A and B are shown apart, each in its own frame.
Chain A
Amino acid sequence: MRWMMSCREASRLTTEASYRALDPLERGLLVFHRSMCGNCRRFAAQMALIDHALRDWREQNSGGSGPR
């Protein structure tokens, strides 16, 4: 993998980061990419908002707080 991955690749890692712990190399590459790329910073903020809303939605709709 090149040091600077594409936004397309960075977005995949952004999804995976919502569901699993990235390994140190992946995390490093993602942080590096975002430090250089405003689009991916915005994309990450959008996805964080979606994750936050999904948590609220789940709390409302599991009839209580489920395990997380």
Chain B
Amino acid sequence: MSPPTDEIEESRAYLMRYARLQLRNKAWAEDAVAETLLAALQKPDAFAGRSNRKTWLVGILRNKIIDQIRLHARECRLGTDEDALDIEDEVFAADGHFSERPSDWGRPDSDLQQKQFLAILEACVERLPDQQGRVFLMKEWLELDGDSICKEIGIQPTNLWVLLHRARLRLRECLQQRWFDTAEAGA
């Protein structure tokens, strides 16, 4: 018995969200998701019967995403001009000090705040430049180690650190603007 179409569609929707976030290319993401669903639907009983279907599907998706990264390693490596405006030069003055004093963020204190914070974090990850975003999520979401990331897309470790550092500085700027400054303005 094949699973109901709406269950497949529901799965496709969240798988696409992850795949696009990680791959930053609609066509590659569609391929990864199609292959994931194809593999899953070869075991229709497993698809229908699993209580932890999402875990299972996301596990398959991770591997299909890595396949896509391998397939498109060259494109993943390129695109250096996207960061023409060096975030480090924005955050730090010429003498190496912070241009602006970092503010005290505190911590999101209620569950609701925590939930909103994670939503904004994800939006900020989505806004990272493509190359930085891919490498950052290979580390943070695919949980690959540094050596594997360098090998898969063919970059040097120093380059990896630069990309991860820029991604984190950008996330920090984005969270400052979209969470902390907004919260202060509303308080």
Contact = CB atoms under 8 A, between A and B. Distances in A.
A39 B140 contact: no
Interface stretch (B30-38, B66-74, B77-85, B163-171): B163-171
A8 B143 CA distance: 27
Q: Does more than half of chain B's interface fall in helix, strand or loop, or is it mixed?
A: helix
Nearest to B53: A63
A47 B168 contact: yes
Interface in A22-53: 39, 42-43, 45-47, 49-50, 53
A63 B118 CA distance: 16
A66 B143 contact: yes
Interface string B57-72: 1110000000000000
Contacts of A16: 161, 165
Interface stretch (B1-9, B41-49, B101-109, B126-134): B101-109
B88 A8 contact: yes
Interface of A: 6-9, 11-12, 15-16, 18-20, 39, 42-43, 45-47, 49-50, 53-54, 56-58, 60-64, 66-68
Given A7-B98, A42-B102, A63 B164 contact: no
Contacts of B96: 6-9
Contacts of A20: 146
A53 B107 CA distance: 10
Nearest to A12: B165
B161 A39 contact: no
A51 B118 CA distance: 11
A53 B92 CA distance: 25
B103 A42 contact: yes
B55 A64 contact: yes
Contacts of A67: 143
Given A7-B97, A19-B139, A63 B59 contact: yes
A61 B164 contact: no
Given A15-B164, A19-B146, A63 B57 contact: yes
A48 B114 CA distance: 15
B4 to A, nearest CB: 20
B161 A63 contact: no
A53 B117 contact: yes
Given A15-B168, A42-B104, A64-B55, A7 B175 contact: no
